[in-house]
Amino acid sequence: MAHRDSTHNEQAFNLLPALDDVRQPETIAVDSLGKILSASAEAEILLGLGTSKDLPTPLQQLFQKTIATKQRVVVPELQIQTGIGPASKFHVSILPLSIPNKDLFIITLTNVTGLERIRQSVEQLDRLATIGTLSANMAHEIKNALVAVKTFIDLLLEKNKDAELAEIVGREMSRVNNIVRQLLKFGSTTPPTRSRVQLHDVLEHSLRMVQHQLDGKRIALTRSFNATHDAVHGDNHQLEQVFVNLFLNAVDATGVNGSLTVHTEFLPATPHDIAPPQRAGQPHVRITVSDSGAGIAPENLDRMFEPFYTTKSNGTGLGLPITRKIIHEHDGLITVESQPNRGTTFSIVLPAGTNPA
């Protein structure tokens, strides 16, 4: 818990360290004027407090009720603008404490929106595990059948010498093979082969792989690699697959002369609403991929990671589910924000590894 002002009553601060063992991650201590005396690192990051000593407006209004009643105030859901993204709903408790010559108020916040996202994520992962097993079994059966079909088609084409038919059949066979490969990837239970990976290097290599597509639509690329610590413990090839897929999706969604921005930042103490629950408060690297494309309709946004769901005429609906599966196997989270005609942003949070000295 970071102290803000050493001139405040020393007795008040003597009490604060004792709260560290029992406080929730997002905790703020304020004086009788509603000025922040101390805040946990998680609260400072989540609410974007910086050096400000003022509570966000919704908390300030709730604090005034506590002042008036001198009783604990609990609100199950209070919407507060966060400093790291859109507004979220919080369970808020304000507890007045009386100590000699000082009134102290302890505010604890639990991100209800974040917990709901985690619950939905766990439920979807359970569904994905079942679908993944079925997909792998289906893919193996289809692959075996394709071998026989391709053999007979090759014989027929050799007899007929029809170049146009050969091209059509070859293209469609390639498409089916691609679907089978995607199914096998989705159903794979092979864990990532981990080593120390520098994310900036992976991002650069992935961008080079899609540079031709970017140039073809004259899409302006902006790199904003601000992470002072970009090492993670992961599978280099799987992470490249993730980023190439996101970049290609951005190209597909973006018109000529559009833009693509790739941003990284290091989060020394990640709030639990944007990190896996078991890793809240630990250091992470966040990567955001933003495009200026057509955006995603609200009715489609919640289904973006569903297997076989696609809005593309030639899509398999497996690219994003595979992407999400890889990120979860790296103990990370991936989220998406979008509005029609205002572009789309994918955000990935991965546990930070150890940078070389």
How sure is the predictor about 100, in pLDDT bands with cuts at 50, 70 and 90?
confident
pLDDT (average), residues 55-82:
82
Mean pLDDT: which of 178-187, 215-224, 237-246 is highest? 215-224
Mean pLDDT: which of 14-28, 307-321, 324-338 is highest? 324-338
Tokens of residue 327, six digits: 């990120």
The superfamily CATH assigns to domain 195-351 is Histidine kinase-like ATPase, C-terminal domain (3.30.565.10)
Question: Which tens digit of pLDDT belongs to each residue from 101-120?
Answer: 777 888 888 877 766 666 66
- 3-state DSSP helix/strand/coil percent for the chain, to nearest 5? 45, 25, 30
Task: Report yes or no on whether pTM surpasses 0.85.
Answer: no
Bigger pLDDT: 175 vs 319: 319
Bigger pLDDT: 91 vs 84: 91
pLDDT of residue 16: 46
pLDDT of residue 213: 92
Share of the chain above pLDDT 70, in %: 68
Position 11 pLDDT exceeds 50: no
Tokens of residue 207, six digits: 């961008």
Question: Which tens digit of pLDDT belongs to each residue from 132-147?
Answer: 555 555 665 566 666 6
Question: Which tens digit of pLDDT belongs to each residue from 301-315?
Answer: 888 887 777 777 666
pLDDT of residue 224: 94
How sure is the predictor about 211, in pLDDT bands with cuts at 50, 70 and 90?
very high
How sure is the predictor about 203, in pLDDT bands with cuts at 50, 70 and 90?
very high
Mean pLDDT: which of 44-58, 160-174, 240-254, 275-289 is highest? 240-254
pLDDT of residue 35: 86
Q: What is the CATH code of the structural domain delimited by 2-112? A: 3.30.450.20
Q: Which of 46-50, 84-88, 135-139 has the lowest mean pLDDT?
A: 135-139
pLDDT of residue 7: 43
Regarding beta strands 102-111 and 26-30, do their DSSP bridges make them parallel or antiparallel, or are they unpaired? antiparallel
Bigger pLDDT: 33 vs 144: 33
Average pLDDT over all residues of the chain: 77
* In contact, 61 and 49? CB cutoff 8 Å: no
| 8-state DSSP, 49 | -
Question: Which tens digit of pLDDT belongs to each residue from 258-315?
Answer: 999 999 999 887 766 676 666 767 889 999 999 999 898 888 888 888 777 777 766 6
What is d(CA 264, CA 64) in angstroms, rounded to the nearest whole number?
39
pLDDT of residue 286: 94
Going by C-alpha positions, the residue among 255, 158, 31, 49 that lies closest to residue 39 is 49
DSSP count for the chain of H helices, then E strands: 10, 13
Bigger pLDDT: 49 vs 357: 49
Residue 84 burial (10 A CB sphere; 0-12, 13-18, 19+): middle
Position 228 pLDDT exceeds 80: yes
Position 37 pLDDT exceeds 90: no
pLDDT of residue 208: 92
